[in-house]
Amino acid sequence: MESITFTETPFVRKKKRTEALAKLIFFLMALSMIIPLVMIIAYLVVQAWPILSIDFLLENPANRMRAGGVWAPLLGTIYLVVISLLVSAPIGVLAAVYLNEYATDNWFTRIINLAVVNLAGVPSIVHALFGLGAFVLFAGIGRSILAASLTLAIMTLPVIIASTKEALASVPMPFRTACWNVGATRWQTIRTIVLPNSISGILTGIILQVSRAAGETAPIMFTGAVFFKALKDDGLFAYNLLDQCMALSMHLFTISTQVPDVPHALPYGTAVVLMAIVLLTNGLSIAFRVYLRSRKRW
Amino acid sequence: MAPSTDKKIEISNLYVDYGPLSALRNINLDVYRNEILGIIGPAKSGKSTLLQAINRTIEFIPGARVRGSIKIDGEEVRKIKDINGLRRKIGMVFPLPVGLPLSIYDNVAFAPRMAGIRNKSQLDEIVERCLKQAALWEEVKDRINNLGTKLSGGQQQRLTIARALSHEPEILCLDEFSIAVDPVTTMRIEEVLKELKSQMTIILVTNLVQQARRLANRTAFFMNGELLEIDKTDVIFSDSPAHRVTYEYVTGIFG
């Protein structure tokens, strides 16, 4: 056998070229993810710049939506997001715990899992029609914050179940068997080992749904969001559960398409506020993930 | 204490299937109180399955089916309602160490706590006793609140043994406990097992036939899901066990 030398053969040079090319292509593809995001944000901020201020956040729309700020829609969006997650997070987490920790693999479990996957893929406009039929009309809640929140909850529920299941499944199986072997019940195992080691992942999944719920227009348009609503006061509790409300996504839609002669910066300013909510919550979830890794216990 | 012939575990006509695969066939086996029963045999012979059938963790394996009878202290295992009580009665140690993602202290205090013991001094006492029995106390006594998962493999295995002892089991099942443990520590644990024999019944599944020879009062030889023979360890390791294949296996001709 020939001894190994370190002079470059044509084959080695070719391998090097291919390697460099492959790396470059992968890098460009990864970069192409960032460029649109940066461009969108930059464009929005530049266009919205004249109008951005604290007052823009805290003032209500005025002069038939052609002046003022976004306080009423912003508060409405906060209401919708908080209430919908208050409903979907507990149900989703508990359902995921059942599916991942208790359910055995049988036809019933498979149907539930199939339903979860498919519900996650249902278009939001279909959720909107379901919400209209089920909550607004059938349950008789009427168009309201409550009906819209419940519709958003139905929409976010399957995703929360899926992400929670994933977080639970990331806790290695041998930990569970070790607990069962010393006579711990399933619930004791879940409480002491599984949940403490997956809670950050669970919370990350829930937080990501904040931005989704905040951004959707269709589900709330039919079920509780309105073109304009005058707030009764400036406080945080200006909306009632059974009131209709304004919402940022809906507001952006109406001032961009339904209202003539809106100042140029106004829709952009609204979009910046909406984007800021989305990016802030995503940033929060990233921070959680970093925290999760830093205290990984095995 | 001399091993009695008082039966702690009685297994009769035991069959275990995983779906279409048969793991154990027609096992008839008694384990006597305060003995160490060695179980040897090549891979896939059903040794680990037997242990899982005894503490019923086999029920967590999808498709596993158990027929036949396992009695502990005369009580049919499959009819026991308090399954967690059953598992507390049996200490289990598996080949790969599992340190729970808790502190060393909490790892050992886990089982007593799950059984409802809250008293701090009682827990302290259990933790110290079990870590000493598992030959780990001296190495960790100054960092008892560090994470158990950060220990080395060998230390984690001793932690696992300490945890298996923490609920004061009457039966201790060890499945290849020495795979992840260095030879010196293995010897120390073997000494511990000899002492523990006076307090409990021990089933030792091992691939190291010499370990069975050193420790076991009786040894069972499993092959392809069947119990080929069980006898006094001296007989199994003599020149004339009942089966030729047993002789070949323990002397290393087999294969």
Nearest C-alpha neighbor of A178 from the set B169, B63, B164: B164
Question: Are the beta carbons of A184 and B102 separated by less than 8 Å?
Answer: no
Question: Coil, helix or strand for A286?
Answer: helix
pLDDT, residue A67, reads 83
Contact between A298 and B166 using a beta-carbon 8 Å cutoff: no
Least CB-CB distance to B84: which of A105, A185, A197?
A: A185
Among A180, A184, A297, beta carbon nearest to B101: A297
End-to-end Cα spacing for chain A: 46
Residue B1 in domain = no
Gap between the Cα atoms of B77 and B75, Å rounded: 6
Element (H, E) at A10: helix A10-48
- Name the residue in chain B with its Cα closest to that of A177: B57
The answer as to whether B54 is a domain residue is yes
Query: Which site among B83, B89, B98, B102 would you substitute to test the A interface, given the most A Cβ atoms closer than 10 Å to its Cβ?
Result: B98
Q: What is the pLDDT of residues B135-160, one digit of tens each?
A: 889 999 999 999 999 998 888 989 99
Determine, for residues A193 and B115 on separate chains, whether the beta-carbon distance falls below 8 Å: no
User: Phi and psi for B92 in degrees, rounded to 5?
Assistant: -120, 130
Which residues of chain A, if any, have pLDDT below 70? 1-2
How many alpha carbons fall within 13 Å on the CB side of residue B188? 18
Contacts (Cβ under 8 Å, ≥6 apart) of A252: A267, A270, A271, A274
A148 neighbors A245 (Cβ within 8 angstroms) = yes
Give dist(CA A52, CA A269) in Å, integer.
Answer: 6
Closest-CA distance, B112 to chain A, in angstroms, reads 9
C-alpha dist (Å) from residue A220 to A94, A148, A149, B215: 26, 5, 8, 72
**Which 8-state DSSP code applies to residue A135?**
I
Place of tokens 């905040």: A214
What are the beta bridge partners of residue B232? B218
In a domain, B228, yes or no: yes
Please report residues of A whose CB lies closer than 8 A to that of B149.
297-298
Q: Are B45 and B224 in contact (CB under 8 A)?
A: yes
- Burial of A19 by CB count in 10 Å (0-12 exposed, 13-18 middle, 19+ buried)? exposed
Taking CB atoms and an 8 Å cut-off, how many pairs form between chains A and B?
69
Nearest chain A residue to B116 by CA distance is A184
Nearest to A76 by CA among A246, A254, A241, A229: A246
The number of domains in chain B is 1
Asked if the model's pLDDT at residue B218 lies above 50, the reply is yes
Cα–Cα dist A258/B180, whole Å: 71
- Tell me which residues of chain A, numbers 163 to 192, contact chain B at a CB-CB cutoff of 8 Å: 174-175, 177-185, 188, 192
pLDDT, tens only, A104-141: 888 999 999 999 989 888 999 999 999 999 999 999 89
Reported confidence tier of residue B255, pLDDT bands at 50, 70, 90: low
Is A298 in the B-facing interface, judged by CB distances under 8 Å? yes
Report the CATH number that the domain containing residue B197 is assigned in CATH: 3.40.50.300
H or E element at residue B67? strand B64-72
A105 interfaces chain B, CB cutoff of 8 Å: yes
What percentage of chain B carries pLDDT values higher than 70?
98
**A residues 193-212 closer than 8 Å to B (CB):** 193, 196-197
User: What six digits make up the tokens of B131?
Assistant: 């870590």
Q: Hey, are the CB atoms on A182 and B163 less than 8 Å from each other?
A: yes
Largest CA distance in chain B: 55
Q: Does domain A54-294 have CATH number 1.10.3720.10?
A: yes
Summarize pLDDT for B44-96 with one digit per residue, the tens.
888 989 999 998 888 888 889 999 999 999 899 989 988 888 988 999 998 88
What is the domain range of residue B203? 7-251
Average per-residue pLDDT in chain B? 89
Give the three-state DSSP class for A290.
helix
Q: Which residues of A touch B98 (CB under 8 A)?
A: 174-175, 177-178
Contact A177 B84 (CB under 8 A): no
Q: Is residue B65 a part of any domain in this protein?
A: yes
Phi, psi of A36 (to 5 degrees): -60, -40
Q: Kindly report, residue by residue over B91-132, the tens digit of the pLDDT.
A: 999 888 888 999 999 999 999 999 999 999 999 999 999 999
> Whole-model pTM?
0.83
B89 is a domain residue: yes
**A278-295: string of b/e by CB count within 10 Å (b at 16+)?**
beebeebbeebeeebeee
> Alpha-carbon distance A80 to A214, whole Å?
8
Give the pLDDT band of residue B1 (cuts 50, 70, 90): very low
CB contact under 8 A, B57 and A177: yes
The pLDDT, as a whole number, for residue B104 is 94
Contact state of A184 with B111 under an 8 Å Cβ cutoff: yes
The pLDDT value recorded for residue A79 is: 92
pLDDT of residue A149: 95
* Min distance A186 CA to chain B CA atoms (Å): 10
- Cα–Cα distances (Å) from A21 to A14, A17, A18, A28, in that order, read 11, 6, 5, 11
The pLDDT value recorded for residue B23 is 92
